[in-house]
Chain A
């Protein structure tokens, strides 16, 4: 066998392999670059400049003053029972699931007395973010 018969056979596949790897590396590089470009978290949220203290309106009134006075559960039950005794059709007010779970009646997530005049919340019904907070903390 003459060398001239062997060399073309030996070199062509090598050249093809080299080209293939180069192609794969190029594609992988492009994919990685795309992944970084698209996968970044983006620009971080900048702190929003808070107005200087003296520019702010006066502090809100103490929370207790901005909310209707809370009526103790026992008092509400008494009122409800009184309504029954007096022949009114209003049924006694039972605590909603949220009220049962809530450990405290604070303003942040508070349920004021006004709510007792509203229809009882359906199970899984939460009206506001404050009630959601109550729900979460009552686990």
Chain B
């Protein structure tokens, strides 16, 4: 009896580990040009379009209006984290009311809504600030329950690109 209980417990533990790994439709995106990566649910988002420059890609939700943007750019203007955060808020999300913002020395998160849609963007500076990596989700407010957990998991797997020869400190 005890052995059976242990067996059931262990099997449940194994199932939990498998679920945590997220084999159910989650796949890894790696940007070939800049090296940043994240995991996203391939059964929710499919590739919509890629940039010819190889610096980003937009994924669209199979159902609903959700969109996921991943990309990176070289920080040719020498923006600080605070400056780029402010720029983003003013220029990309001007119509939104920011409801959450958090900033660190090398990254920031900003989120908000405009009554119709919710956005969430995380930006990570890497390579001594010369590379700006980000992902952003935009989805209907009505679909928050569906997309909020996805945002959280994507964020947990988001890795910034590292320095290559071009970005290496000279």
Taking Cβ atoms with an 8 Å cutoff, the residues of A that contact B are: 18, 21-22, 24-25, 28-29, 31-32, 35-36, 38-39, 41, 45, 47-51, 53, 56-61, 63, 66, 104, 106-109, 124-133, 135-137, 139
Contacts and interface: CB of A to CB of B under 8 A. Distances in A.
Given A129-B72, A132-B56, 18 more contacts: A28-B10, A35-B14, A41-B157, A47-B104, A48-B127, A48-B160, A50-B80, A56-B80, A60-B78, A63-B87, A104-B91, A107-B91, A108-B92, A125-B49, A126-B50, A129-B56, A132-B50, A133-B92
Contact of B69 (A38, A39, A136): A136
B41 interface: no
A48 B55 contact: no
A95 to B, nearest CB: 17
A26 B110 CA distance: 47
A136 B52 contact: no
B159 A132 contact: no
B22 to A, nearest CB: 9
Interface residues of B, number: 56
Given A45-B124, A48-B125, A60 B79 contact: yes
Q: Which of B10, B53, B69, B128 has the most CB of A within 10 A?
A: B10
A79 B133 CA distance: 39
B88 interface: yes
A53 B80 contact: yes
A63 B84 CA distance: 12
Interface string B82-120: 010001100110100000000011110000000001000
Contacts of A104: 91, 94
A137 B91 CA distance: 11
Contacts of B91: 63, 104, 106-109
A51 to B, nearest CB: 6
A5 B103 CA distance: 79
A139 B138 contact: yes
Nearest to A29: B10
Contact of B67 (A63, A108, A127, A136): A136
B3 A131 contact: no
Nearest to A125: B52
Contacts of A50: 80-81, 105-106, 125, 129
Nearest to B65: A139
